[in-house]
Chain A
Amino acid sequence: MSRKLLLEHINVPGINTLEVYRQKGGYRAVEKALKTLTPEEIVEEVKKSGLRGRGGAGFPTGMKWSFLAKPEGVARYLVCNADESEPGTFKDRYLMTHIPHALIEGMIVSSFALGAKVSYIYVRGEMMPQIRILEKAIAEAKAAGWLGKNILGTGYDLELYVQPGGGAYICGEETALLESLEGKRGNPRIKPPFPAIAGLYGCPTVVNNVESIAAVVPIINDGGDEYAKIGIGRSTGTKLISASGNLVKPGVYEIELGLPVEEFIYSDEYCGGIANGKKLKATVAGGSSVPILPANLTLKYANGEPRLMSYESLSEGGFATGTMLGSGGFIAFDEDQCIVRNTWNFARFYHHESCGQCSPCREGTGWMEKVLHKIEHGHGKMEDVDLLWDIQRKIEGNTICPLGDAAAWPVASAIRHFRDEFEWHIKEPIKSQQQNYGLANYANPIAKAEEVKNPN
């Protein structure tokens, strides 16, 4: 069994209450941080831990904290990004539902480290049940003296509030989130200035994902060096993986970074293999935005070495043969799934969620959706595949925020790896409406393909 830092007590009855959470060692990190450490020492521990942002970008959390401006007499804010909306990702919902105090404890320690007196947890509006859970847990913590004035007699004051979103994927982007928290449309801001200089209400602000903030608790309890011993290379610690799609046991799993992808998919400790005895055709390893890979490249690099669940290993080969860890939203497609249909579905998602500020994204996402709809429904032309490639290329890198890239990558990678399936839809407009393309050669070994005989 691998080590669990966040979900160790997930199955303890009543762990959502302060009482049981305390019995299991909860709020020790607050005591240790507020009574024995300075804010600078906490930032140093987080830096030493090597923790990287768990929302998707993977930026080192300690470094992000150290960029925070500290002008005299100006408020500083910590805002937790709980706007979990990346298709394939549901770990934050799971954590907040079952162990809300893990997030609250992390928020108190992190707020103290950053010098924030008021902090917000921005939860996507659809998660009303989780908002109610968090508000109840905050009230419990406040009644017990973990929040409010003069916490533990240390003189540190902190108020923590839950802010609901209104249903907009774009608000997961940190500057759009801040706009939304200010009561405005979720239009991302042009950076610089970065939130660390001018964030919420123009004040220095840190925005961190739920899982990143919860991970601060074990880092403070055991020390940054201990945390950094877990994992592999620059991918330190544990990561929550949301597993969905055609798996025997979809769900949220805490893994030590560095676990082989094959073990994650097929071992009984994790996903237990592909559902209904089918074969794996493709995966999206880190949420809908990251490149889709065929089964063979999911499990192994192009040179045949096994691929691991880590930031570096999933990116191995760049976009030509690799993908990204992203948010840890792991979607598995079985042999009966249609890549064209899924690409159209994702394109529709990004079109729906584009805020409309930048024309490449506003126009391009809708255009891609239409072309993909056409191909999927048997009306495509061969030049449409090149047209799609051209559109995505003109979106990527040409927008204020990364939503443009996030919309472009799934389309680009689907064409890169599954071009023959797109062409089949175009050449066989009637057949493709009645049956699917199937597994084709997507699970065959890649390395020296012509020399290796397919065991099947």
Chain B
Amino acid sequence: MLKVEEQTPVVFSSELLAKFDEVITRYPADKTKSALLPLLHLVQAEFLWVSTSAMDQVADYLKIQPIEVYEVATFYSMYFLKPQGKYAMEVCRTGPCCLVGAEKILNHLESKLGVKEGEVTADGLFSFRGVECLAACGFGPVLQISPEYTFYENLTTESVDKLIEDLKNKI
């Protein structure tokens, strides 16, 4: 996690807060803490990571202590506690995918993007990391790209190259 003083405070848009308002209607009125995980996903979709400033505001919104948000954000692996590339690629690295070449894909991404796992490319576009089983073992190797979690199956080094080119051309 970045130090708090290194972070710029974020401002939640009225659109984002309107989404918050919808989510909390799904739970009993005195159990709105249940909205915590969904709200953190909404925050991450908006800012591409979850900063301390954002967590504090989520705590305020749900009327819970900031520590209750921090302990959840640090427990679950999906929440990025530091900035990622615009396209954060996550490659499954668990057993079944490794039987069909996932390690090769991870190595290829490292050399292709010129950054190590967890680092962001200089243009800010890409970062990648290995993650545990994504429940698509029959279609491996697989990767997903947050924040939309678009999913790519049966990867080869060639299809990964093409994917990266396509994403570069998208902007």
Contacts and interface: CB of A to CB of B under 8 A. Distances in A.
A341 B103 CA distance: 12
Contact of A128 (B26, B72, B93, B148): B148
Contacts of B122: none
Contacts of A185: 71-72, 75
Contact of B34 (A126, A183, A186, A242): A183
Contacts of A272: none
A342 interface: yes
Contacts of B34: 163, 181-183
Interface stretch (B9-17, B37-45, B104-112, B161-169): B37-45
B118 to A, nearest CB: 15
B98 A125 contact: no
Interface centre among A126, A167, A252 (most CB of B within 10 A): A126
A93 B40 CA distance: 23
Interface in A180-226: 180-186, 201
A120 B38 CA distance: 13
A167 B77 contact: yes
Interface string A164-183: 11111100000000001111
B95 interface: yes
B135 A184 contact: no
5 contacts: A85-B133, A164-B41, A167-B79, A288-B95, A352-B132
Interface in B5-36: 26, 28, 31, 33-36
A444 to B, nearest CB: 22
A250 B78 contact: no
A364 interface: no
Interface in B72-104: 72, 75-79, 90, 93-96, 98-100
Given A87-B94, A93-B136, A128-B148, A167 B99 contact: no
Interface stretch (A33-41, A329-337, A426-434): A329-337
What are the 3 tightest A-B residue pairs by CB atom distance, in nearest-first order? Answer: A166-B76, A167-B78, A244-B137
Interface residues of A, number: 56
A244 B76 contact: no
A88 interface: yes
B139 to A, nearest CB: 7
A173 B78 CA distance: 18
Interface string A317-352: 000000000000101010001000110011001001
A100 to B, nearest CB: 16
A256 B21 CA distance: 46
Contact of B36 (A86, A89, A167, A183): A183
A164 B98 contact: no
A413 interface: no
Given A125-B78, A181-B34, A246 B148 contact: no
Contacts of A376: none
Given A163-B38, A345-B95, A331 B31 contact: no
Interface residues on B, range: 35 or more
B99 A89 contact: no
A402 interface: no
Nearest to A82: B135
A67 interface: no
Interface string B133-165: 111111110001000111100000000000000
A244 B75 contact: no
A244 B35 CA distance: 35
Given A129-B151, A250-B139, A87 B26 contact: no
B33 A183 contact: yes
Interface centre among B62, B72, B95, B148 (most CB of A within 10 A): B95
Interface string A102-139: 00000000000000000010001111110000000000
Nearest to B35: A183
A242 B12 CA distance: 42
Contacts of A180: 37
A90 interface: yes
Contact of A161 (B26, B77, B131, B148): B26
A84 B144 CA distance: 16
A396 interface: no
B38 A250 contact: no
A251 interface: yes
B41 A126 contact: no
Contacts of A120: 26
A200 B136 CA distance: 29
B38 A201 contact: no
A75 B137 CA distance: 38
B95 A166 contact: no
B77 A166 contact: yes
